[in-house]
A = this chain, B = another copy of it.
């Protein structure tokens, strides 16, 4: 009966190749594109985006999608997943007119440049007109994606299928309270001296060390590469071409190293997706939250652990002998785990990090609800930062201009980071059952069993499963904050009371 599956697959390949091409152009824009090409690149991305939309919604695509139900039961499991995911994507894409998609892509390309200039000048007004347009377009998108109890839910769903404001509000409130309690305990504890983090670490040595580390963790440079950009990111064209970027601060050892380990976690996920999902709608992560679980697993659970530095610290001392001679490993581990309210999300500690996300979540939710105006973002940002973290940015570059996400229209994305933390801790609990000596392996720099476990349980499935299916299969239960709160409580105990 499965007569139209080959045609469906051919169309899926076309769509995947177009999406890959657009991703190459977007990567290029962030890394190597000449400044004068911003306008032209916006037109190119808009054209590709428009073609992608056309081939995801035309009569052929709709016919292929509607045929799936009649034959999918006869297909092998992987092909069923591809056909089902194809049909769902076509259905959702068909809800959005090509004009809107094209306009969103065009504005996003221009806005990314405007955001860079605004951040550089610390002038929100250079970005706010385009951000207002983005918010209006996202509100329109939300209204077109069907009835929902809150318009923001339709944007969340694009990043985390099934997530809603109703689900996130209580989890985030609980996390906020739990986190603020831990922060109080930390504030009362003896202060940690983390000045070792802020010594002078030359750029090239930092990049080389970080690149060596991610290769040891399992990121392949045969099917990937590393470049510099204003904001670290990972992009994947196929599992054979996965690109990471990082940034370097010569007066902060954390920025390049943990940024790159984070992105390598995303990258290993993409490199590990099963070959049969290549060039299909299943050739990506299950959700942004699951994606973040992989980056945060490696960044926080592995690379900030005392065990990791048993392996890595002698190597780091070898690269920076003048700075690190005489600094004990445990002091270094304390320093990189110092919990302290800070202004910058990317460089904040594991504990207070979620408070940064909650600030952004509140702002996005209210922008989309129409109860917050774009021009009021800076004051709202600063007010919430003071309430939740007790710190206030001196300017917008340190504040509401710090993240790239809104510039590319990624509203609904930020909650994924916190979901990723919860998932990562749940996965680590399950991993410890299967690999009881996981800490010993980390101490010895033997990361392959860990990567293999993640590949088997998470990576290879790509987007053929929902986040809920994936996490319940692994953890035996649905989303919970318990494992995460246990993880940070243990961490704080070890760092502050050892």
Which of B44, B237, B278 lies in contact with A21, CB distance below 8 A? B44
Residues of chain B within 8 A of A221, CB atoms compared:
34
Report whether B36 and A241 are in contact in the complex, using a CB–CB cutoff of 8 Å. Answer: yes
Interface residues of A in 28-43 (CB under 8 A from B): 28, 32-37, 39-41, 43
Does A153 make an interface contact (CB < 8 A)?
no
Does A223 make an interface contact (CB < 8 A)?
yes
Report whether B48 and A17 are in contact in the complex, using a CB–CB cutoff of 8 Å. Answer: yes
Interface residues of A in 2-22 (CB under 8 A from B): 13-14, 17-18, 20-22
Report whether B14 and A47 are in contact in the complex, using a CB–CB cutoff of 8 Å. Answer: yes
Report whether B47 and A18 are in contact in the complex, using a CB–CB cutoff of 8 Å. Answer: yes
Q: CA of A13 to CA of B43 in the docked complex: distance in angstroms?
A: 9
Residues of chain B within 8 A of A34, CB atoms compared:
221-225, 240-242
Which of B17, B40, B225 lies in contact with A43, CB distance below 8 A? B17
Q: CA of A117 to CA of B35 in the docked complex: distance in angstroms?
A: 34
Report whether A278 and B18 are in contact in the complex, using a CB–CB cutoff of 8 Å. Answer: no
Q: What would be 17 A-B contacts, judged by CB atoms less than 8 Å apart?
A: A13-B43, A17-B44, A17-B47, A20-B40, A20-B44, A21-B21, A24-B25, A32-B32, A32-B225, A33-B241, A34-B222, A35-B222, A36-B220, A36-B222, A40-B279, A41-B241, A43-B279
Given A34-B224, A34-B242, A35-B222, 11 new contacts (CB under 8 A): A14-B51, A17-B44, A21-B24, A24-B25, A32-B32, A36-B223, A36-B240, A36-B241, A37-B237, A40-B279, A41-B241
| Residues of chain A whose beta carbon lies under 8 Å from any beta carbon of chain B | 13-14, 17-18, 20-22, 24-25, 28, 32-37, 39-41, 43-44, 47-48, 51, 220-225, 227, 237-238, 240-242, 278-279
